[in-house]
């Protein structure tokens, strides 16, 4: 979801219309295994989780797709029963300073030197932190600040942890709501007197104090479908938190207005048309944008939660840059949607045929290059006027 974990990328001079066939494919890498992990792109490298022979790997590539190194990270999630239809890597790595952090679907966290890939510390959320494996494995992208790495093993007593960023030692743990982890990547919210971590468990949207883990507010999810597959990162804007749920009988999108101390979150509106499990939300120009079940991109105004515009595109992972939305649909169709004079209109589509299995990874853009990850393959497309 980008450097601010909000789906917005600071780009310019992007194509407003794509070629009839597809944008130019600059390069493609194959051999990274099963999974749905998205890449993270820095000034000179690309980091991506993958799977080879059931082992989790953190890969590093240069910007031309050449592999620089790969670091093993224990067993990757393969699943059983229904979950076995969704095996492989899940989380997007997190880069902070000269380090890169990630973890496998089985909960093994590693901190690596971002140049060499050398593992500096590791911790297993199942064995060391007594976590409870969710049905589809661990999938959050780790939230990190100057002091801590925050992780959510979901144990009944020590539910959420802050680890010392440079050593992996436990700084604090909290029972929070004693609920099992879901698949949400947390966000930070800075209030006047504290910083809080906002995330999802299987049955709650909640926040804890980043300094000590104290529970601040709790918003129970109504109408959830077992086991509570809540994957979207919340969005914070001007004293309110926005989130969307995909549960069939749930409330859909919601706005929660925060108290000044962050200990109360009051429901301001809900909109049950906006059903979205894991495709992301974008907040721009006082509108909330979301793809929904039924293959629409919808724009929702912030004060009342009403839909003010929509366009037909395949439901999927959403990002925004240079007044354009790019959506990687769950059916493999990548759509360009221009946002002009408060209206949305389609500027091109093409379908991803390369790679393996489902089309679930989020699209990423950096320096005019669109990165799409699908299972075994990572692709880089030219979507800029300048390349």
Is 15 a domain residue? no
Contact criterion met (CB below 8 Å) for 102 and 58:
yes
pTM: 0.96
- The model's pLDDT over 237-294, given as tens digits with 9 standing for 90+, comes to 999 999 999 888 899 999 999 999 999 999 999 999 999 988 889 999 999 999 998 8
Is 242 a domain residue? yes
* Residue-level pLDDT at 387: 73
Is 152 a domain residue? yes
Whether omega before 193 lies within 30 degrees of 0, making that bond cis, reads: no
Is 7 a domain residue? no
For every residue of 40-100, DSSP letters joined together read: EE-SS-EEEEEEETTEEEEEEE-TTS-EEEEEEEEEPP--SGGGGGS-SB-PPPEEETTEE
- The model's pLDDT over 208-230, given as tens digits with 9 standing for 90+, comes to 999 999 999 999 998 888 777 89
Is 3 a domain residue? no
Provide the residue range defining the domain that includes 173: 24-382
Is 9 a domain residue? no
- The model's pLDDT over 348-384, given as tens digits with 9 standing for 90+, comes to 999 999 999 999 999 999 999 999 999 999 999 999 9
Distance CA 70, CA 44 (A): 16
Is 6 a domain residue? no
- The model's pLDDT over 338-351, given as tens digits with 9 standing for 90+, comes to 998 888 999 999 99
* Residue-level pLDDT at 386: 82
Kindly report the CATH number assigned to the domain that includes residue 252: 2.130.10.10
The count of domains in the chain is 1
């Amino acid at each position: 979801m980008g450097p601010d974990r909000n789906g917005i990328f600071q780009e310019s001079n992007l194509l407003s219309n794509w070629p009839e066939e597809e944008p130019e494919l600059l390069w493609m890498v194959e051999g990274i295994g099963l999974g749905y992990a998205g890449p993270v792109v820095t000034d000179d490298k690309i980091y991506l989780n993958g799977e080879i022979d059931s082992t989790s790997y953190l890969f590093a590539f240069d910007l031309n797709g050449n592999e620089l190194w790969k670091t093993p990270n224990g067993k990757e999630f393969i699943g059983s029963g229904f979950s076995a239809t969704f095996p492989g890597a899940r989380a997007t790595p997190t880069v902070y300073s000269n380090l890169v952090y990630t973890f496998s679907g089985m909960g093994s966290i590693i901190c690596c030197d971002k140049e060499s890939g050398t593992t500096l510390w590791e911790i297993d959320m199942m064995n060391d932190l007594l976590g409870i494996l969710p049905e589809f494995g661990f999938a959050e992208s780790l939230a990190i600040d100057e002091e801590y790495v925050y992780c959510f093993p979901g144990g009944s007593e020590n539910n959420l942890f802050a680890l010392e960023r440079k050593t992996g030692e436990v700084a604090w743990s909290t029972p929070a709501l004693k609920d099992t982890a879901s698949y949400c990547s947390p966000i930070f919210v800075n209030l006047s007197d504290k910083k809080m971590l906002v995330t999802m468990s299987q049955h709650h949207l909640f926040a804890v104090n980043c300094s000590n883990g104290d529970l601040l507010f709790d918003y129970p999810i109504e109408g959830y479908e077992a086991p509570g597959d809540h994957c979207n990162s919340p969005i914070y804007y001007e004293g309110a938190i926005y989130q969307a749920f995909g549960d069939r009988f749930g409330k859909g999108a919601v706005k929660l207005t925060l108290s000044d101390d962050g200990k109360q979150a009051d429901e301001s509106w809900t909109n049950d048309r906006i059903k979205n499990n894991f495709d992301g939300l974008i907040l721009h120009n006082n509108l909330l944008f979301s793809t929904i079940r039924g293959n629409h991109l919808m724009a929702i105004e912030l004060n009342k939660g009403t839909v003010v515009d929509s366009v037909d595109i395949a439901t999927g992972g959403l990002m925004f840059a240079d007044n354009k939305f790019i959506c990687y649909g769950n059916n493999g169709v990548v759509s360009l949607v221009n946002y002009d004079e408060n209206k949305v209109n389609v500027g091109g589509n093409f379908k991803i045929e390369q790679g393996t299995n489902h089309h679930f990874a989020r699209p990423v853009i950096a320096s005019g290059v669109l990165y799409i990850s699908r299972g075994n393959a990572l692709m880089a497309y030219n979507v800029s006027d300048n390349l």
